[in-house]
Structure 1
Amino acid sequence: MDFSTLDPMIRPRSIAIIGASDDATRIGGRPIAYMKARGFQGTIFPVNPKRPSVQDIKAFADVASLPETPDVGLIAVPGEAAIEAIEALGQKGTKAAIVFTAGFAEVDEKGAAAQARMVAAAKRHGIRMLGPNCLGLFNDAIGFYPIFSSSFEQGWPIAGRIGIASQSGAYGTHVYSLARKRGIGTGVVVTTGNEAEVALGDVLGWMAHSPDVDVICAYAEGIRDSEKFLAALDLARRNRKPIVMMKVGKSELGGAAAQSHTASIAGDDAVTDAVLNEYGVVRARNTEELLDIAYTATKRIFPVQNTLGVMTVSGGAGVLISDVAESLDFPMPAMPEAAQAKLRGFVPFCAPRNPVDCTAQAFNQIELIGEFTRSMVEEGGYTSCLGFFTQVGGSKTNAPKVRAQMKAVMKDHPDRLWALCIIASDEMVREYEADGFLIYEDPTRAVAALHAMGRFGEAFARVASAPPAAPAVTLPAKTPTEAEGKRILTAAGIPAVPERACADVDQAIAAAREFGFPVVMKILSPDILHKSEIGGVLLDVNSLDAVREGFSTLLRRAGEKAPTAHIEGVLVAKQIKGATEMALGILRDPVFGPVAMVGLGGIFIEVLKDVAFRRCPFGEAEAEQMIRSLKGFPLLDGARGRPKADVAALAKALANLSAFAAAAGPRLAGVDINPLLVLPEGEGAYAADAVLEITP
């Protein structure tokens, strides 16, 4: 996918401003004033039929009168005139447009129809169009400011290589303003408005390929074009450019998924979470964390196996840091015993395990900071190094000594992440940062940001396994019975428990004799998807008499609880003992398509919601990662003397299910396999119950 088509919009040599104003405080006037102030080296063509000049720049009556074709047109005129401006730019040969004008799809159906006409005009002329109803963008590296935000009245951007892509104009510039206030450089900001043509994925893709952007911040409310979005995330990962995203709002899974347990368990945005995790995008919980992570990522150090070493003058802070690291699964291995013994030789009452607490003795022997830190890095081998020095690091008497001690160690180990928690003046913080240190006041924020660098590193190093070959899938015309559904899944590589569909009691008795007791009996109907809810499942059926009685009981319950359902008989299956119950599922997300789920089976899946999701298709390695991410994984891994379950068979079934869902197409609305019985290691995994939901 070619994201460079946004170059004329974000890195232009010339711009036409339709609706240009001589008033530098108006929407059509601010961009000109900003570009003059920031020294835009390109050509500015104000378009205003009522004035010979705008802000001391020669103006033109219309686009057709322009002496040359501008790279981009900025549209700040209302209603129908905005659509006419797109047409005029297209006839002039312009290939990009930024539309401030509001009153389109965000308002009502009439506005949506007008927006559709605007998009049609843009596409007819090959124009990449940002907006409408957008705040605009800026690219400070070239002084380009087609934006009407008032945030620049408080100051211009700090030079830097962080890009901000935001669906909200106001919030995008809010993030920029907070970054500037914290001294963080954001060189380019793009807001997308209604995303009638250019979507968030386009902007992320442009930043992922831009040589001027190293780190990407994103604010998203919803994803409009999943193909572009996923291509952009993939490009950023391949180019080792971290994306930290605030994703707000809730995704609708669609009416067809209402009957699916898998879909209901997915909740508000579990699918979005899974997609972001797949590409190594770190999701920020708030703006503060968004900026913390982006700031830390500017160091461009992304450890694949990230470990945290902590040097502290406070035992209490060490406990706090350890708690936060444990909650994030951020490893803090202990220092080697020999190194601990050496440090006790310096200070017998120190705590050298990790966190390494040199105690307040550092006030008397400032060189202890250097000795302890060097030992922590060289003998502990940590990839992320956090020093907690609080006011000590900010005091006029001690700060120069602390800086000198820490700089000496950092100079010898530039491949590590170096962060300090200090309370200091802004001027002193800048001095530390100039040395190369990341500075935080709150150690919990520092730990979260350092942990994110390891998540990026793992994503950049990850090599996906090949998904299973796509099977040939022919779906039935409507939702099948359980027996037919399992037959389809078995053909796709998800084996089922031995079973037989029985139209009468004699067939049920023959099936029970063949499988041996005990057996399971279930009502068989395409209209009853969740049989246990009507008493349609009988376990531990142990005799021929019990089979006869069970057959009659199931038919009676179906008649009472689902009188309109079409009944095809009873399913008799071999009852398997000693298995771990798991659940597999497929839901069809309206944005990202088929998504697979794995979790603990039986009733636990809806009670505990211990599940993992991933977009289909994927290979067995990714399937096993999903399984191992479950909190209940120890149940499969031999916890409390249980035999280890056949995780390999479970992973294979999950990967095969993902390939089946991807090949089945949009008529496959959902799949629920619960339980999937996972036998001890080497004995396989078998679907005991399955529902396929088919869109007619």
Structure 2
Amino acid sequence: MKTAVAHRAYPEVGRSTNGRVHYLHAAVAEEPVSIPHPLTPLLAPRSIALVGASETLNTPGNDMLHELRVSRYKGEIWPVNPKYEEIEDWTCYPSLSDLPFAPDLAVLAVGNHHLEALMGEAIRIGVKGLVIFGSAQLPGDTGHDTLQNRIQHLAIDAGVPIVGPNCMGYYNVEEGVRAFPFHLPRSLGDGGITFIAQSGSVLTSLLWNERKLAFNLAISPGNELVTTVADYMDYALDLPSTKVIAMFLEAVRDPGGFVAALEKAQARGVPVVLIKVGRSVAAAALAMSHSGAMAGNDDAYEALFRRYGVIRVSSIDELASTALLFAQGRRPGPGGLAAILDSGGEREILLDLADQLNVPMANINHNTVQVLKDNLDHGLEPINPLDAWGTGNHYDVIYENCWQALMEDPDTAVGLFIADLTSGFYLHESFAHICRRVKMRVKKPMAIMTNHVGSEHQDLAIRMTQAGLPVLDGTQPGLLAVMHLLEYRDFQARPQYDLPESIDPAIVQHWRDRLDRVDRPLGEFEALSLLSDYGIAVPQMQVVEHRDEAVAAAETIGYPVVLKTAMPGIFHKTDVGGVKLNLHNRSEVIEAYDELAAALGPMVLVSRMARGEVELAFGLLNDRQFGPLVMVAGGGVFIEMLKDRQVALAPMDLGAAHRCINALKSRPMLNGFRGKPPCDLNALARALCQFSQLADDLGDRINELDVNPVKVSAQGCVAVDALVTPRQFRS
């Protein structure tokens, strides 16, 4: 049993909102106490029963025995199969009930038609965890009465965690446990990477083939009937050895638990690197607003990842390089990348790609430049990145002195020694020796990078990585890894801001009650009143039903004014000619009112003509997994054609609002152009924060909220039009 921080269950070891059992811990005390994680019997068992064990080679029943042997598991191993008395020198038992005592873990390598009975037996004798390789599906399974549902309920009711079904099990390298249906006769060294992959092929692609990666835990969670990715993350975050969590995700089956695990990772400074597939899922058919039409399912994940500093990657190569660099354990300080090479041409490749990926290069100072000048052969430039290869005379001294100077420069955050390594080649072996010597003197993160993935360097690369100098294969994956390392540094260094102030509870309750009662979109006057109650500036306005009222309202509000149809059921007023802009006097108001009343009806909204140099849009959607999402987007062509938008979880603080605004493609327009003064970015960010508070308070009562346009100027920002559709509304 490991010493761990005292924990409480989250919210207890019990049911989640989707029926699964939570196995999450959240620290509540600083004093170390011996409390095992709820998944310890499953992932670090003291005894294992292998049900379906077999003498037949190259079958899961036989391979799982060899896996435990090669992993040097020290606990009890009990094969279970009524066909044998002994398998591979282990006594074989006819059933689980015949075992000397209940094992911590039972691995079920049996046909689907045996699963239900075996699970019942395992639970009855007190097995504490299960691994199920099979699919748990039977011919004719339909509706709710399926094998998967039945075994799920059995496990939930008994509080028994399951890896699977439809999985490849796991490697707990740290504990010497392999519950795996395929045998690879290779031992693995302990490391700091936890790898969770919802694809067995992705799991083995790195677990078996990338020998530079050193894992403490690798899991194929399968269908996650009971135990989810979030639970495995939580277990890994209680391991002192975990330096990075790498994942391949197709879906998040326990959103609340997943968010809790990300919060725990953020609190403990453990980076999470993942591939999340499924970016192209469409948002919603027949969405009524820009918010609904523009925000797809993937936007919620992007917002979640940004909030918690999750590093999203696009390929397995990028995942491997990034996990490898983070697993080194060193974190960068201020500054950028320093690099040394032995090729001018490859230096140009590096600079082009670094510029493309926005990887900053270190601005080396005068002292560093002088050291380079004092060491380099004549004709070589003392710059970063540095091509240090000249005549080859005394190259070892030149490279070591120059590399040391580059790494010690105050603006160097991370260093790359770049060479297309060949194992056994004297030059590259000496480069490796130089890197080891410099690493001992400098505490900054450092790696070796090849420009070609297929370089003949595996032996040297493994030796260097094991010595704490990871070898990153390929220029682009390597630079992406550096970029992610610096991004995570910047995420951790973000200043903390307070969330927007809470709104008067009476106002919140008023709008919750109102949205509960209405089954159609709010009229514009009411929608803008909602925004105003949340501290977002709106034009002075009044709803009228007669010409004289329109004139009186315009004169009270002050010219110029806008007239818009306020007739119920008209949501996109411009499309039906329902907006009359920039009216400067009584006669223009009368003419505009008469036209609107004749064409669309007598109810009209009169409002002050809002001015602004730039038009943006705000939006709200309530994501079914992660709750209310807030969108800020460029107006006009930017939102329609360029999909210029940023999405965040609600509520957001002022820093998050500024980051969303700064990430817009249309952001330069806010700086002022054609002689116009810069827009008030602080006012815009405050309005976005207040909008996010609205989303947090009322998002569960709203299907969509679209504020378009939001006009921004040097004097502030004002919401000009809004569409609010309550949750009961069906178009």
Q: Give the match for residue 653 of structure 1.
A: 687
Q: Give the match for residue 710 of structure 2.
A: 676
- Measure the CA separation in 1 of the matches of 2:332 and 2:252: 30
Q: Give the match for residue 164 of structure 1.
A: 195
- Measure the CA separation in 2 of the matches of 1:56 and 1:318: 58
The 10-residue stretch of structure 1 (537-546 or 685-694) with the greater mean CA deviation from structure 2: 537-546
Aligned to 1:490, which of 516, 529, 532? 532
Task: Give the 5 Å matches for 1:207-222.
Answer: 207-222=236-251
Task: Give the 5 Å matches for 1:35-50.
Answer: 35-50=68-83
> Is the CA contact (8 Å cut-off) linking 1:301 and 1:453 kept in structure 2?
no
> Is the CA contact (8 Å cut-off) linking 2:614 and 2:670 kept in structure 1?
yes
Q: CA deviation at 1:633?
A: 2.1
Q: CA deviation at 1:437?
A: 2.7
- Measure the CA separation in 1 of the matches of 2:145 and 2:167: 15
The 10-residue stretch of structure 1 (613-622 or 428-437) with the greater mean CA deviation from structure 2: 428-437
> Is the CA contact (8 Å cut-off) linking 2:562 and 2:606 kept in structure 1?
yes
- Measure the CA separation in 2 of the matches of 1:46 and 1:593: 47
Distance 1:625 1:70, change over 3 A: same
Could you report, residue by residue, the CA deviation over 1:312-349 in whole angstroms, capped at 9, with x for unpaired residues?
33333222222222223222143334643664455553
Q: CA deviation at 1:377?
A: 2.8
Distance 1:230 1:305, change over 3 A: farther
Distance 1:504 1:51, change over 3 A: farther
- Measure the CA separation in 1 of the matches of 2:689 and 2:457: 55
Distance 1:227 1:642, change over 3 A: same
The alignment partner of 1:127 has SS state of coil
- Measure the CA separation in 2 of the matches of 1:107 and 1:305: 61
Q: Give the match for residue 587 of structure 2.
A: 545
Distance 1:225 1:640, change over 3 A: farther
Distance 1:356 1:219, change over 3 A: same
> Is the CA contact (8 Å cut-off) linking 1:104 and 1:133 kept in structure 2?
no
Q: Give the match for residue 259 of structure 2.
A: 230
Aligned to 1:332, which of 342, 350, 361? 361
Q: CA deviation at 1:219?
A: 0.7
Q: Give the match for residue 626 of structure 2.
A: 592
Could you report, residue by residue, the CA deviation over 1:366-407 in whole angstroms, capped at 9, with x for unpaired residues?
43323332332334530111233446x878343354345444
2:316 matched to 1:314?
no
> Is the CA contact (8 Å cut-off) linking 1:386 and 1:421 kept in structure 2?
no
> Is the CA contact (8 Å cut-off) linking 2:389 and 2:395 kept in structure 1?
no
Q: Give the match for residue 478 of structure 2.
A: 446
2:214 matched to 1:189?
no
2:427 matched to 1:398?
yes
Aligned to 2:178, which of 145, 164, 170? 145
- What one-letter code is carried by the residue in structure 2 that aligns with 1:179? E
- Measure the CA separation in 2 of the matches of 1:668 and 1:106: 42
Distance 1:107 1:691, change over 3 A: farther
Distance 1:227 1:662, change over 3 A: same
> Is the CA contact (8 Å cut-off) linking 1:470 and 1:659 kept in structure 2?
yes
- Measure the CA separation in 2 of the matches of 1:105 and 1:686: 60
> Is the CA contact (8 Å cut-off) linking 2:115 and 2:136 kept in structure 1?
no
- What one-letter code is carried by the residue in structure 1 that aligns with 2:659? Q
- What one-letter code is carried by the residue in structure 2 that aligns with 1:569? M
- Measure the CA separation in 1 of the matches of 2:248 and 2:442: 35
TM value normalised by structure 2: 0.86
Q: Give the match for residue 572 of structure 2.
A: 530
- Measure the CA separation in 1 of the matches of 2:674 and 2:406: 36
Q: Give the match for residue 208 of structure 2.
A: 177
Distance 1:362 1:308, change over 3 A: farther
Distance 1:337 1:138, change over 3 A: closer
> Is the CA contact (8 Å cut-off) linking 1:470 and 1:660 kept in structure 2?
no
Q: Give the match for residue 353 of structure 1.
A: 383
2:479 matched to 1:437?
no
Aligned to 2:101, which of 68, 72, 77? 68
Q: Give the match for residue 120 of structure 1.
A: 153
Q: CA deviation at 1:292?
A: 0.7
Q: CA deviation at 1:255?
A: 4.7
- What one-letter code is carried by the residue in structure 1 that aligns with 2:727? T
Task: Give the 5 Å matches for 1:492-571.
Answer: 492-558=534-600, 569-571=603-605
- What one-letter code is carried by the residue in structure 1 that aligns with 2:386? V
Q: Give the match for residue 53 of structure 2.
A: 20
Could you report, residue by residue, the CA deviation over 1:192-234 in whole angstroms, capped at 9, with x for unpaired residues?
1111111111112222222343222101111111111111112
> Is the CA contact (8 Å cut-off) linking 1:19 and 1:28 kept in structure 2?
yes
- What one-letter code is carried by the residue in structure 2 that aligns with 1:661? A
> Is the CA contact (8 Å cut-off) linking 1:673 and 1:691 kept in structure 2?
yes
The alignment partner of 1:666 has SS state of helix
Could you report, residue by residue, the CA deviation over 1:635-663 in whole angstroms, capped at 9, with x for unpaired residues?
22345653221211111111121121122
2:272 matched to 1:239?
no
Distance 1:42 1:693, change over 3 A: same
Q: Give the match for residue 581 of structure 1.
A: 615
Q: CA deviation at 1:43?
A: 1.6
The 10-residue stretch of structure 1 (532-541 or 612-621) with the greater mean CA deviation from structure 2: 532-541
> Is the CA contact (8 Å cut-off) linking 1:369 and 1:406 kept in structure 2?
no
Q: CA deviation at 1:350?
A: 2.5
Q: CA deviation at 1:288?
A: 0.8
Q: CA deviation at 1:694?
A: 0.7
The 10-residue stretch of structure 1 (161-170 or 340-349) with the greater mean CA deviation from structure 2: 340-349
The alignment partner of 2:304 has SS state of helix
> Is the CA contact (8 Å cut-off) linking 1:421 and 1:442 kept in structure 2?
yes
Aligned to 2:64, which of 27, 31, 52? 31
Q: Give the match for residue 481 of structure 1.
A: 523
- Measure the CA separation in 2 of the matches of 1:386 and 1:654: 40
Q: CA deviation at 1:147?
A: 1.7
Q: CA deviation at 1:595?
A: 0.9
- Measure the CA separation in 1 of the matches of 2:605 and 2:100: 79
Give aligned pairs, total: 681
- Measure the CA separation in 2 of the matches of 1:305 and 1:691: 45
Distance 1:448 1:408, change over 3 A: same
- Measure the CA separation in 2 of the matches of 1:356 and 1:140: 40
Distance 1:19 1:505, change over 3 A: farther
- Measure the CA separation in 2 of the matches of 1:334 and 1:211: 36
Distance 1:251 1:67, change over 3 A: farther
- Measure the CA separation in 2 of the matches of 1:589 and 1:670: 10
* Unmatched segments (≥5 aa) in structure 2: 1-9, 11-23, 26-36
The alignment partner of 1:387 has SS state of strand
Aligned to 2:303, which of 265, 274, 281? 274
Task: Give the 5 Å matches for 1:245-324.
Answer: 245-250=274-279, 255=284, 258-267=287-296, 269-303=298-332, 305-324=334-353
> Is the CA contact (8 Å cut-off) linking 1:330 and 1:451 kept in structure 2?
yes
Q: CA deviation at 1:592?
A: 1.1
Distance 1:469 1:95, change over 3 A: farther
- What one-letter code is carried by the residue in structure 1 that aligns with 2:244? V
Could you report, residue by residue, the CA deviation over 1:271-326 in whole angstroms, capped at 9, with x for unpaired residues?
21221122111112111111111111111122254511122333332222222222
Q: CA RMSD in A?
A: 2.8
Kindly indicate which of the two structures has a greater share of residues assigned to helix.
1
2:398 matched to 1:368?
yes
Q: Give the match for residue 92 of structure 1.
A: 125
Give the % identical residues: 27
2:686 matched to 1:618?
no
> Is the CA contact (8 Å cut-off) linking 2:450 and 2:472 kept in structure 1?
yes
